[in-house]
Amino acid sequence: MLYQLSYLPARPTIGRRGPTAERNDTNPAPRVNWPGSGSRYDGQTMTNATKSERAESLARSPDRPLLSVRDLRTHFPVRSGILQRITGWVKAVDGVSFDLSRGETLGLVGESGCGKTTVGRTILKLIPHTSGTVEFEGKNVFTAHGAALKALRRDMQIIFQDPAGSLNPRMRVGAIVGEPLVVHGLVKSRDELRQKTGELLVRCGMPKAAADRYPHEFSGGQRQRIGIARALALEPKFIVCDEPTSALDVSIQAQIINLLTDLQSEFGLSYLFISHDMAVIQHVCRNIAVMYQGKIVEHGEREQILERPQHRYTRSLLSAVPEPDPRTQKRRVIFEGGAM
Ligand SMILES: Nc1ncnc2c1ncn2[C@@H]1O[C@H](COP(=O)(O)OP(=O)(O)OP(=O)(O)O)[C@@H](O)[C@H]1O
Ligand SMILES: [Mg+2]
């Protein structure tokens, strides 16, 4: 049985393909039909140079995963006393391994505090790792420096859970979205910057005029669209989506999910989609990794994880997904923790 996006009102229906339709890299997640969730942009956002560069890169290494994570560990020190001596370690990520193909969405699901965000941030080198390796297109992310690191930063982006906290309140939206273009020297003039930021905003369902306003003038969903436009600015290949919908009103969540799946089809993006909501994960991800206490306890195709969960923790997580039909009784599986 596949789970419905039960938090959505009854009105949306799964369009284009049914929820049980076979999915692959060229057959992305179905849209949730929702009034006003369509894209208002019909222009060209990705440059032809980027398209041909991606085609060449794909031809050179068709089978190699885009991202390869091996035995990744990130431990945080626990300090105490006046001298702030290290008295212990929080093993936030403790031996995580997975591969991500081009155009794929891997769902990383697990309870609060199990280490999902730490995995995403460590992969992007936003926080230091303890051990293990991360390779992006065969290049070691942790040993990259200078120009190589700058190139990797261009290809790997993140969308944050809290759109309000992730946008600088003192900067206008145009400056926020255009900042990566300026930092990477990808625009030659103010006019070009204004044109590109306008295109990005429109592609993400915002009016061009939003560029002149400040983040606090927008709703949560609109701010998330601004965050997505910023993440897209450098035409990345891979985006960590860290709970991109969990801070949003239920009616807005479907719009953001649809935007992300549309952008994936258009740009061939790969997502590491982090969430604690199994219903969202099953909707957007072809493969799912279940995380518990810093480790991946189960990893496989969506149908396998949802229909034949092997681990007790996965069964407990699935039993907690609310049923859209209140007449249906589901037996809760309580996972007491302990040995994995
Ligand atoms: N900078 C830090 N210093 C010390 N401990 C940290 C730090 N960042 C995270 N942790 C700890 O690491 C563990 C994993 O945190 P993380 O934010 O990755 O969890 P999560 O799965 O993303 O949770 P949530 O679903 O609530 O976002 C938690 O116990 C957290 O307290
Ligand atoms: Mg988190």
Backbone angles phi, psi at 126, to 5 degrees: -85, -25
Distance in Å, CA 328 to ligand 2 centroid: 31
CA of 116 to the centre of ligand 2 (A): 6
Please report the atom of ligand 1 found closest to the CA of residue 76. Answer: 4
Q: Which ligand is nearest to the CA of 110?
A: 1
256-272 pLDDT, tens digit per residue, is 999 999 999 999 999 99
pLDDT one-digit tens code per residue, 27-62: 455 555 433 333 333 344 566 666 666 666 656 665
Q: What percent of the chain is modeled with pLDDT above 70? A: 76
Half-sphere exposure of 116 (CA within 13 A, CB side): 26
Q: Is residue 270 within 6 Å of ligand 1 at its C-beta?
A: no
Amino acid at 323: E
pLDDT tens readout for residues 232-265: 999 999 999 999 998 888 888 888 999 999 999 9
Whether 114 is in the pocket of ligand 1, judged by its Cβ within 6 Å, is yes
Nearest to 97 by CA among 139, 143, 135: 135
Asked whether the predicted pLDDT for residue 139 surpasses 50, the reply is: yes
Q: Which of 116, 118, 162 to probe ligand 1 with, by most ligand atoms within 8 A of CB?
A: 118
Ligand number with the minimum distance to the CA of 90: 1
Give the burial class of 20: count Cβ atoms within 10 A of its Cβ; 0-12 exposed, 13-18 middle, 19 or more buried: exposed
Q: Is the CB of 153 under 6 A from ligand 1?
A: no
pLDDT in tens, 185-222: 999 999 999 999 999 999 999 999 999 999 999 999 99
The answer to whether 30 and 21 have CB atoms below 8 angstroms apart is yes
Nearest ligand, measured from the Cα of 123: 1
Pair of tokens at residue 156: 């790997």
Q: List helix spans (H) across the chain.
A: 48-60, 116-123, 146-155, 163-166, 173-183, 190-203, 220-232, 250-267, 278-284, 302-307, 312-319
| Euclidean distance between CA atoms 10 and 118, whole angstroms | 35
Q: Distance from the CA of 111 to the center of ligand 2, in angstroms? A: 9
pLDDT 10s digits, 76-99: 999 999 989 999 999 999 999 999
Quick one: 88 exposed, middle or buried, by C-beta within 10 A (0-12, 13-18, 19+)? exposed
Q: Is the CB of 118 under 6 A from ligand 1?
A: yes
CA angle 323/326/332 to nearest 5° reads 50
Residue 262, Ramachandran bin (φ over 0: left; ψ between -120 and 50: alpha; else beta): alpha
Q: Which residue has the higher pLDDT, 312 or 61?
A: 312
Instruction: Look at residue 19 and tell me whether its pLDDT is greater than 80.
Output: no
Instruction: Give the relative orientation of helices 220-232 and 190-203 as an angle to the nearest 10 degrees.
Output: 130
Round to whole Å and give the CA distance between 93 and 32. Answer: 33
Predicted confidence at residue 295, as pLDDT, reads 96
pTM: 0.82
Ligand 1 and 112: CB distance under 6 A: yes
Taken in order 199, 201, 252, 319, is the CA torsion positive or negative? positive
* Whether the CB of 214 sits within 6 Å of ligand 1: no
Ligand 1: atom nearest CA of 276 is 25
Q: Which two tokens stand for residue 196?
A: 């590109």
